[in-house]
Amino acid sequence: MVRNIVVLGGSSHPDLVNTVCHLLGIPNGRITLSKFAVGETRVEIQDSVRGKDVFVIQSGCGKVNDHLVELLITISACKTASAKRVTAVLPHFPYSRQSDIPYNKTGAPLSKAPTINGGKNDFTFESRPGTPGPMDSPGLGVSHGGLERELSRIALERGADSSGNGVNGVERGKSHPPTPLRRTNTADSSNVSSSANANEWVPPKGTGYKQWVAQAGTLVADLLTCAGADHIITMDLHDPQYQGFFDIPVDNLYGRPLLQRYIKYNIPDYQNAVIVSPDAGGAKRATAIADALGMEFALIHKERRPTRITDRQNATMMLVGDIAGKVAILVDDMADTSNTITRAAKLLKGKGGATRVYALVTHGVFSGDAIDRINASALDKVITTNSVPQDQHKRLCDKLVVLDVGEVFAEAIRRVHHGESISVLFRND
């Protein structure tokens, strides 16, 4: 039994809270969670937390925004009630997929500056394209091919002397200011059409630039810190850089040992199976499991080329590796709509020639029609953890296997409370 500790549970995952409290040998902290008629969240802590080490468990699933506000109010209530330390335990961290960087993962391509007056070619090696201001014309560091051609064409149509005009249609030798470029409200990154307004600046295609990207990552981190959280415990952050957004300690637990244990004891002849990463971003996670178990590794290259930021265009998938006649094991950190793993399973069994396909994911969110998609897919089994509630999903899908993370979080809470090392939990895995 752990003393001088209080574990409070939010409304997102009560089963996990019960499991953690049972393993720690303590009763559940008494808390009342309700809503006013207007929809505002009401939190009332019924146990004394003065001088106690408080852990608030709330997973980012279901009604994510309501659960986040509920967590923030609970943390603030504990600090107001003179808790010694408040630790937010988020098995699935909300908003962890929203990067703060307004560029695609591919970044900006190396671009060549436009040639002027027949001069020699100049090259720039900027990793990101320069962003023109509201009243600035595109600089020479970035080539806006379609836009420049359109501006030149319009200048010619206005009757400007072609021998005396520059790139932006300004006559040489005169101090006419360039036509200001107004940033458009659209996210279209395609070239300017012949009927487009020349005064509207459109991001060049292929630069990876995104307009009006909110910095949700830093915001959520600041909200938790300002609410009074002294420590964060989570599992398998989608983006590891998220830990750097906090000014307080963050313990990112690994679901990899649970997945490795399942492979080792539940997949026959697992040494001859192949670990497959469904995209390049998860290659490091998949290779860690493959190296630990002495298995082969394959990769699915996924290329997305949407014309708009809001497009949900399917990516082109290409298998890199040999899985013919073998068991393929897809490894990823999260399955939301399950579009990636179901399309990967079709590729692995179709063109790849795999005999069976397993999918192992840490966070099985399964939103929308994800369960129906899995039932109709080529996947033989989907293994996930209960970092989010899985009872309803399990009733609807016979392919689903759920691993319990309650023991991992209970031991992590015990170690944090006593000031012991967390890395010891994963040292031998």
- Using one digit for the tens of pLDDT, what is the confidence trace for 58-104? 999 989 999 999 999 999 999 999 999 999 999 999 988 875 554 44
> Does residue 114 fall inside a structural domain?
no
Within this chain, do residues 245 and 260 fall inside the same structural domain, yes or no? no
DSSP notation for 363-379: EE---TTHHHHHHTSS-
In angstroms, rounded to a whole number, what is the distance separating the alpha carbons of residues 234 and 257?
A: 15
> In this structure, what CATH number is given to the domain that contains residue 307?
3.40.50.2020
Identify which of 82, 79, 91, 129 has the alpha carbon closest to the alpha carbon of residue 10. 91
> Does residue 183 fall inside a structural domain?
no
> Does residue 200 fall inside a structural domain?
no
Within this chain, do residues 361 and 260 fall inside the same structural domain, yes or no? yes
**Domain assignment of residue 72, given as a range:** 5-98+215-252
Within this chain, do residues 75 and 61 fall inside the same structural domain, yes or no? yes
> Does residue 419 fall inside a structural domain?
no
DSSP notation for 350-365: HTS--SEEEEEEEEE-
> Does residue 221 fall inside a structural domain?
yes
Average pLDDT for residues 363-374, to the nearest whole number? 93
Please give, one letter per residue, the 3-state secondary structure of 45-76.
ECCCCCCCEEEEECCCCCCHHHHHHHHHHHHH
Amino acid code (one letter) for 189: S
* Cβ(329)–Cβ(352) below 8 Å: no
> Does residue 168 fall inside a structural domain?
no
Q: Model pTM?
A: 0.73
State how many domains the chain has. 2
Burial 383-416 (b: 16+ CB within 10 A, else e): bbbbbbbbeebbeebebbbbbebbebbbbbbbbb
> Does residue 25 fall inside a structural domain?
yes
Token digits of residue 228: 């009074």
Identify which of 145, 133, 155, 125 has the alpha carbon closest to the alpha carbon of residue 189. 145
- Using one digit for the tens of pLDDT, what is the confidence trace for 292-314? 999 999 999 876 555 444 445 55
Lowest mean pLDDT among 116-130, 331-345, 392-406: 116-130
